[in-house]
Structure 1
Amino acid sequence: MLKKILFFVVIFTFGFVFAQNKSFIYELEFRPSLTKDSISKERFVLDVLNGKSIFRTIEEKKSDSTFHATRRLSFTTTSFKDFLSVNKDLKSGNTHKFIHNFRNLFTIKIEEELNWKIEEETREILQMKTQKVKVIYGGRNWTAWFTSEIPISDGPYVFRSLPGLILEIYDDNNDYHFSLVQIKNSDGKLYDKDKALPISWKQYEKLALDYFSDPTREINGKNTGGSMQIIKWQDENGREFTPNFKEMNEREQKKIHENNNPVELNHKIIYPG
């Protein structure tokens, strides 16, 4: 009996160490707009190390890696954007998502509990046995499939706290569908993000509405504290010109209206107009 227990302990430990040295690549298929049938795709990477994990786009990971090497930011956005990047402490259960606003980085602590309901149904994914579970998060009903063959209590985005890795998860409307598509060797480094300013969901809403009211504020010279006011705009022939910021604002505001289908429906922002 003792030998059998030791065998399972060794197998579990080997599986955990194996998983700690891997990067898990997920593909997200999602519907940005509720008024259009178009589906967008994005690839993310989940890295797990020493009880912590980061879920982010592949582009973001490259940027974070560059920052750790050079201390120079290489990834910025001129919009107020949720890239669905998340930092998790698997020991304490603390989960934070990141929001980008130009050169600023904000973080929101996820307080919502994940009350999983494990079901009997199983299926094979990537040659691994998985089990079906359900959960409610962000005003959406989710179905997930996890495997105990990879003994990491984690998964894509904010999803965690199961006895194994989540390989696939999707909401009932199929607006968001995360699928594990590849497992790669890791260099053993997490490349954590630089300091982010903590905000609440209420503050997030205010920042989003402020951005909506003037999307080009950081580049049109109105933000006197911004560094981008010194930009000189040039056409393809090198001639300087002044952009039509009014038209740029109107295009961005239209885009925001048309692509307002966030993961957290319970925090969906109602924009004016």
Structure 2
Amino acid sequence: MKYPFKIAIAIVFMTQFLSAQTSRFVYQVTMKSDSTDKTNITTENVILDVSPEKSIFYGEGRVKRDSIMQRMRETRNFDRSAMQNLRSSIDYIVEKDLVKNITYFKTRLGRDQYIYEEDRKIDWKILPETVKIGEYEAQKAETTFAGRKWYAWFTQDIPFQDGPYKFKGLPGLIVKVEDANEDYSFDLQQSKKISEFPSFDNRGGNPIKVKRTDFEKQEKQYRKDPVSFVTNSFSQGMPAPPQSMGGGNRGGGGFRADPDFRKQMEERLRDEVAKNNNPIELSK
């Protein structure tokens, strides 16, 4: 009679041990963000950190960029070239509460950070097709989300009902997901155990919590005229960049940016928006 009790204790211990573990899954994301030039393909690594309770999805360069920014602030030595080398199209974070089944999206527009709760449900249709992806036996599923039709392959060998970006809810980890037009694709590259979730530099203070629809209105304004949007952000209290980053001086008329730096910034903003006309989410 003692053996069942010991087995039960062992199961509880093992469950607690596993729940304390956090898994890191590294994906390669392939993007065709310019609809006028489908030959322009960019790739970068993204990370999904998962525990039984929550997950965080972010660009690999985000942690590196935050580390460099922290070092620059400590040394007061600002090097724009170091930051340029870590520019990323994945400048957002997706956090999932896997217990309450809530997804949060966090990103920056202008000087402000925004966060909203995803209010759209992802309804999957599981298909009979199976294929081996890497070392995993995977099964196919499909869904329509945010204006795109998506195909996903999940494996029950990894018992996290999660995946990259906002995708979740399949009976196993999503190891690959791509849209029907092959504009976006997330492919699992490697996995490992980590001791804890990363912490991110919360520049600009706490994020502004808004409804998804309100955020999309702000994003639409930014895409329409990014220069005016950012200029308004500066005029509403955004700290001026240091002179070593091209900033100007503060005088009776307030902050005056170096004309060459300002022109470069405006051209870069317009160019980025023009070339990113094929976002991952196309509609409501």
Which TM class, normalised by the smaller chain length? 0.7 to 0.9
Residue 176 in structure 1 maps to residue 207 in structure 2 = no
The aligned amino acid for 1:133 is: A
Q: TM-score, normalised by structure 1?
A: 0.76
Q: Which of 275, 279, 283 is the aligned partner of 1:258? A: 275
> Contact between 1:216 and 1:245, CA under 8 Å: does it hold in 2?
no
Q: How many angstroms apart in 2 are the aligned matches of 1:197 and 1:220?
A: 17
Which residue of structure 1 aligns with residue 140 of structure 2? 132
Structure 1, 104-113 or 150-159: larger mean CA deviation: 104-113
The 1-side partners of 2:264 and 2:258 are apart by 15
Match of 1:57 in 2: 59
Instruction: For 2:271 and 2:98, locate their aligned partners in 1 and report how far apart those are by CA, in whole Å.
Output: 39
Aligned to 2:251: none
Q: Which residue of 1 aligns with 2:44?
A: 42
The structure with the greater share of residues assigned to helix is 2
2:119 to 111, 117, 121: 111
TM-superposed CA distance for 1:115, in Å, is 0.8
Q: Which moved more, 1:158-167 or 1:255-264?
A: 255-264
Aligned-partner Cα distance in 2 for 1:91–1:158: 15
Quickly say closer, same or farther: Cα 1:221–1:110, change in 2 above 3 A.
Answer: closer
Deviates more, 1:223-232 or 1:155-164: 223-232
Deviations 1:164-214 (A, max 9, x none): 100000000001000000112312335377542112344324433444535
Partner of 2:210: 199
Aligned partners of 2:65 and 2:98: how far apart in 1?
A: 24
* Structure 2 segments unaligned to the other structure (5+ residues): 248-256
How many Å separate the matches in 1 of 2:264 and 2:122?
43
User: 1:255–1:29: structure 2 CA closer, same or farther, 3 Å change rule?
Assistant: same
Aligned equivalent of 1:121: 129
Identify the range of structure 1 (176-185 vs 214-223) with the bigger mean alpha-carbon deviation: 214-223
Whole-Å separation in 1 of the counterparts to 2:69 and 2:168: 27
Structure 2: distance between partners of 1:243 and 1:208: 27
Give the SS at the match of 1:120.
Answer: strand
1:213 aligns with 2:230: no
Distance, in Å, in 2 between the alignment partners of 1:133 and 1:203 is: 31
Which deviations, in whole Å up to 9, do the C-alpha atoms of 1:81-135 show, x marking residues without a partner?
Answer: 8624200011111101112135532112211111111111111112111111111
In structure 2, the partner of 1:32 is 33
CA offset digits 1:35-54 (Å, max 9, x no partner)? 00210112111111341100
- Count how many residue pairs are aligned between Structure 1 and Structure 2: 250
- State the superposition RMSD in angstroms: 3.9
- For residues 67 and 260 of structure 2, the distance between their equivalents in structure 1, rounded to whole angstroms, comes to 34
One-letter amino acid matched to 1:32? S
In structure 2, the residue matched to 1:237 is: none
